[in-house]
Amino acid sequence: MRSISILGATGSIGASTLDLIRRNRPEWRVVALTANCQAAELAKLAREFDAELAAVGDESCLSDLREALSGSGIEAVGGAAGLVEAATREADLTVAAIVGCAGLAPTMAAIERGGAVALANKEALVSAGDVMTAAVARSGAVLLPVDSEHNAIFQCLDGNDFADVRCITLTASGGPLRLWTAEQLRAATPAQAIAHPNWSMGAKISVDSATMMNKGLELIEAFHLFPVGLDRLRILVHPQSVIHSMVEYRDGSTLAQLGPSDMRVAIASCLAWPQRMDTPCAPLDLAAIGELSFFGPDEERFPATRLAREAAAAGGAAPAVLNAANEVAVAAFLRGQIAFTDISSLVAQTLDRELPPAPRCLDDVLAVDAEARARASQTLEPA
Ligand code: NDP
């Protein structure tokens, strides 16, 4: 039996992870589960999986959580310290699936503890880049990438030397608005941006997928996870989302990982790593799919990948500023405050201002994040 904690248990990745645990119940002991404010749902999951500890990030929801868990013997904690406590509890594997930079401190706590961390929370790695990779090296933690593209690359790299890699190609579905004109994009609504053709995901990553910022964040994520250099990281639009990413070697071989568009495949590869486990996902039927297509990214209509590449090249505080501005912009778009195309504009404007010095520790990253959020919020025009 192995032990597991899930940070962001009430979200889309959390639900997919718990679905796999539910199907293999005797093999897992659940240590800690967290949410932000969905106290009732978190309590239900904590009871079902007999967790030791449940944590809500929003401290004002702690009394609801306590009430919902009364008589269960499950500990309830809240606030930023509660999330860190959940991440610090001893567990063989911690799934980091909180959305946004809000997941950074608990993810860092899990990494500092050592052990294995299945990382879905890409914003944390984008913002903390060097600080997080230094913590991984220091603690000896093993980072297992959950993001389907990075999980694919991780699988394709297996046992090979980075020096033998000619390039790594991140595939992108292009999102639901891939074929829209610039004028149509300006008028895109949150419902249209969230309606992803292939993947079912949380609202924030769905909007990121529509703007292509998701691929930009993934480029920076790959830059830290697979140190082959920015010039050897490529993006290729592949609308069917069958090939999840590829690694080309210097002998001319290209290894690709293919699979259904179901995050349970990537999550299962982390849960079972270095072995394999069953999933309920239907296998690929390539004859039914028939054809796969590929296109270069259009950075005129979708400038986010260019912004992310420039931020990665600039290094220092730039990726954290990019991420913070994007989180503010996506939230404003989802509230109906700004247009779809304003998301990338707000990120670009925030990056254009003088950047703070390079963060050297977690507190520095959190300070850069807070300052960039404040700047981006000031720039927002009322609807
Ligand atoms: P969801 O929005 O579905 O879930 C987010 C989770 O984080 C919920 O448990 C939520 O709690 C919690 N949360 C939100 N805000 C806070 C906060 N301020 N403090 C503490 N907890 C918080 O997101 P997803 O599952 O879609 O995505 C999670 C992460 O995984 C993201 O970084 C995303 O980019 C990445 N990812 C997701 C994929 C997917 O298919 N969904 C694919 C690849 C990567 P509550 O329910 O209480 O709000």
List Cβ neighbours of 157 (8 Å cut-off, separation of 6 or more). Answer: 165, 226, 247
Is the same domain home to 14 and 129? yes
Query: Of 93, 111, 145, which one is at a domain's C-terminal end?
Result: 145
Is the same domain home to 241 and 368? no
pLDDT one digit per residue (tens) for the chain, 383 residues = 999 999 999 999 999 999 999 999 999 999 999 999 999 999 999 999 999 999 999 999 999 999 999 999 999 999 999 999 999 999 999 999 999 999 999 999 999 999 899 999 999 999 999 999 999 999 999 999 999 999 999 999 988 999 999 999 999 999 999 999 999 999 999 999 999 888 889 999 999 999 999 999 999 999 999 999 999 999 999 999 999 999 999 999 999 999 999 999 999 999 999 999 999 999 999 999 999 999 999 999 999 999 999 999 999 999 999 999 999 999 999 999 999 999 999 999 999 999 999 999 999 999 999 999 999 999 986 54
Is the same domain home to 56 and 95? yes
301 in a structural domain: no
Is the same domain home to 261 and 326? no
Is the same domain home to 201 and 327? no
Is the same domain home to 173 and 246? yes
Query: Of 252, 269, 296, which one is at a domain's C-terminal end?
Result: 296
Residue whose C-alpha is closest to residue 210's, from 324, 325, 127, 330: 330
297: left (phi over 0), alpha (psi -120 to 50) or beta: beta
Number of structural domains in the chain: 3
The protein residue whose alpha carbon is closest to atom 27 in ligand 1 is 99
Count of Cβ atoms closer than 10 Å to residue 353 Cβ = 13
- Rounded to the nearest angstrom, the distance between the alpha carbon of 137 and the centre of ligand 1 is 26
- Rounded to the nearest angstrom, the distance between the alpha carbon of 252 and the centre of ligand 1 is 38
- The backbone torsions φ and ψ at residue 73, rounded to the nearest 5 degrees and listed phi first, read 80, 0
Ligand 1 interacting residues, C-beta cut-off 6 A: 8-14, 35-38, 57, 83, 97-99, 102, 120-123, 147, 199, 201-202, 204-205, 263
Q: Please give the number of the atom of ligand 1 that sits closest to the Cα of 201.
A: 41
By residue range, what is the domain housing residue 94? Answer: 2-145
Is the same domain home to 14 and 118? yes
